Chains A and B, each alone.
Chain A
């Protein structure tokens, strides 16, 4: 059995308007039916562009946002149905590392206070002395000096702050850590330090990661399995290598071709699949396949009317596209340009 299992998770945010008491006038379909499994000791990478709902999904797992529908099975317990106090108690087993290392640390608390507060809330460590010992040990593990204890977040560099964020999760001895864009706010040379640290910690502590990021190269580097999200739902899921070797969903193909590679030879050789236009609003997602408004392979039938389900196409490889097999076999033609014309030539907006 998987350690963490999401079953048809939906998170819809009401859009409210009103003078005295607010009325709901619509919904933002941030996450709209996502099912996936994260195996113990593995890393599941969730990748997608801004507005695809990946951050919301990560927060939904920890119930930091309300789950509209669906279940989050963690070690046999459905978190979505757990009463609030029990959810609070189970949180030390599911932790989170945030994108903004400075913003996610209380500026008025020193490091010892930040790290020990969670331990106290879960009754870890008999007294402050015991907690401090444990904190010192974890600080060493994440590569921070013990004199950090009495200092404040603004006194550290970006990379060090992210290490503090990681330490805050680790002191609670979690099973699962959800890393929401753990390196995107850091400089390139610092990113690698943090990625390596996350990998070392996984090795030594047997951690399970759900890594959420927009950078496909980072996600591919650390993940065993990758799920690609577009407008609130998974469009493709595959083992890391398989996804890179043969992306099946048109969006994955486009995404992969757009990631710059620091190698002129590769850059000159590869075919770029350029997409038309911008992401539609998640408050008014297109009918049918959510990607059909930008898909280079959009067909006359089904795409605009019928929402594709994730279907298995290979070992652990699932794709949500009506024509994935046909595109692979080359039996359907591209209906839109994927070259420079996709950028310079405009087509009338449909939304």
Chain B
């Protein structure tokens, strides 16, 4: 059985005037996540990919039980090791967090307490979940920092978050996340705020830790390049729903949902010959319809027909087993060769 299996997860924010949502229609409910299902196996790296507003970060927060209680309704199921994370009591999920479930955030500075030295923040976790105190806790904290490549850990333990560089802070956060050898690590855009050379360091570090500890990793990112190098299984999200799910080789070789297909066509590739034109997806993310009325992507889709507007399209496997696509007009080989270049080089 899968370590984590998410089934039709939905998150709705009750409309309160002045939210950050698109348009100025106040007091309308916002469906941030609208039926997301996926599974994460033990030791597997699963990617949730999508652009801003696709619901990937909200999914992570919902799984961690970190969404505010007020004004948010969460539906569906998310079974972690047989227990439903969504209906679990506050205390129970708090015990899971940090020990079996851990999360790394995009902005390392704001997820560290600015007025507490790094050392205390790390040992706190060790005390809480592993019962370590005093000198043994300090030693363990130092060795954790050392393992994530922070030089001179004994000195760094005494420093405050603002005294560390961005890459260093993210390492410290990773050290805190893996302190209790969690079974599932959720990483929400862990490298987006970092420079590419630092990003490469952090990604290698994550890979290494996951390999060593057998931790399952749920990687949330907008960067298909990161996904290509890291994930075993990929879920592409659009407007709060998974539109395509496949193994990474299958997905990148044969993107079948028009959205995934379009995304890959619109990214400039370092290794593409110069002058290779980009094929952008038209419109903007605000151009969408509710999933209940059809395919949310239809307004931006080059392949849409009338059928796209009759209810939520089902997941099908038009190309290969285990390659699920939520589309009634998937991009199949004939179209691929006509309109777009092969992705592999």
One digit per residue, 1 when the CB lies within 8 angstroms of any chain B CB and 0 when it does not, for chain A 336-349 equals 00001011111111
A349 to B257, CA, bound (A): 49
A134 to B278, CA, bound (A): 29
A342 to B208, CA, bound (A): 12
A192 to B153, CA, bound (A): 43
Q: How distant is B303 from chain A, measured CB to nearest CB, in Å? A: 15
Q: How distant is B142 from chain A, measured CB to nearest CB, in Å? A: 12
- CB pair B267–A188 under 8 Å, yes or no, is yes
A241 to B201, CA, bound (A): 26
- CB pair B228–A260 under 8 Å, yes or no, is yes
- CB pair A196–B269 under 8 Å, yes or no, is no
Residues of chain B lying within 8 A (CB to CB) of residue A261: 225, 228-229, 269-271
Residues of chain B lying within 8 A (CB to CB) of residue A214: 195-196
Which of B88-96, B122-130, B279-287 is near enough to bind chain A? B279-287
Pick the residue among A189, A260, A345 that contacts B281 (CB under 8 A): A189
Residues of chain A lying within 8 A (CB to CB) of residue B265: 192
Residues of chain B lying within 8 A (CB to CB) of residue A187: 51-52, 222, 284-285
B168 at the interface (CB under 8 A from A): yes
- CB pair A278–B198 under 8 Å, yes or no, is yes
User: Helix, strand, loop or mixed for chain B's interface?
Assistant: loop
Which of B29-37, B79-87, B143-151 is near enough to bind chain A? B143-151
Q: How distant is A48 from chain B, measured CB to nearest CB, in Å? A: 9
Q: How distant is A298 from chain B, measured CB to nearest CB, in Å? A: 16
Residue of B223, B268, B271 with most partner-chain A CB within 10 A: B268
Pick the residue among A262, A275, A279, A346 that contacts B227 (CB under 8 A): A262
In the complex, which range does the number of interface residues on chain B fall in? 35 or more
Residues of chain A lying within 8 A (CB to CB) of residue B199: 258, 260
A308 to B282, CA, bound (A): 47
Q: How distant is B20 from chain A, measured CB to nearest CB, in Å? A: 12
A160 at the interface (CB under 8 A from B): yes
Pick the residue among B153, B196, B278, B281 that contacts A216 (CB under 8 A): B196
Residues of chain B lying within 8 A (CB to CB) of residue A254: 197
A316 at the interface (CB under 8 A from B): no
Residues of chain A lying within 8 A (CB to CB) of residue B204: 272, 274, 340, 343
B111 at the interface (CB under 8 A from A): no
- CB pair B266–A188 under 8 Å, yes or no, is yes
User: Helix, strand, loop or mixed for chain A's interface?
Assistant: helix
- CB pair A189–B278 under 8 Å, yes or no, is no
Pick the residue among B224, B268, B343 that contacts A220 (CB under 8 A): B268
- CB pair A259–B196 under 8 Å, yes or no, is yes
A264 to B226, CA, bound (A): 10
- CB pair B270–A217 under 8 Å, yes or no, is yes
B337 at the interface (CB under 8 A from A): no
- CB pair A267–B197 under 8 Å, yes or no, is no
- CB pair B252–A262 under 8 Å, yes or no, is yes
- CB pair B196–A49 under 8 Å, yes or no, is yes
- CB pair B268–A349 under 8 Å, yes or no, is no
One digit per residue, 1 when the CB lies within 8 angstroms of any chain B CB and 0 when it does not, for chain A 307-349 equals 0000000000000000000000000000000001011111111
A175 to B343, CA, bound (A): 36
- CB pair A344–B149 under 8 Å, yes or no, is yes
Known: A340-B204, A346-B150, A349-B151. A266 touches B267 (CB 8 A): no
In chain B, what residue has the closest Cβ to A160?
A: B284
A193 at the interface (CB under 8 A from B): yes
- The 6 A-B pairs at the shortest CB distance, nearest first, are namely A260-B225, A192-B266, A192-B280, A221-B268, A258-B200, A267-B229
B contacts, CB < 8 Å to A: 22, 51-52, 146-153, 165, 167-168, 195-201, 204-205, 208, 222-229, 248-249, 252, 262-272, 274, 276-282, 284-286, 300, 343-345
- Could you name 27 residue pairs across A and B whose Cβ atoms are closer than 8 Å? A49-B195, A187-B51, A187-B52, A188-B224, A189-B262, A196-B278, A215-B268, A221-B274, A221-B278, A255-B197, A257-B200, A258-B200, A260-B223, A260-B228, A260-B229, A262-B224, A263-B269, A263-B345, A266-B345, A267-B225, A274-B197, A278-B165, A343-B149, A344-B149, A344-B205, A347-B151, A349-B151
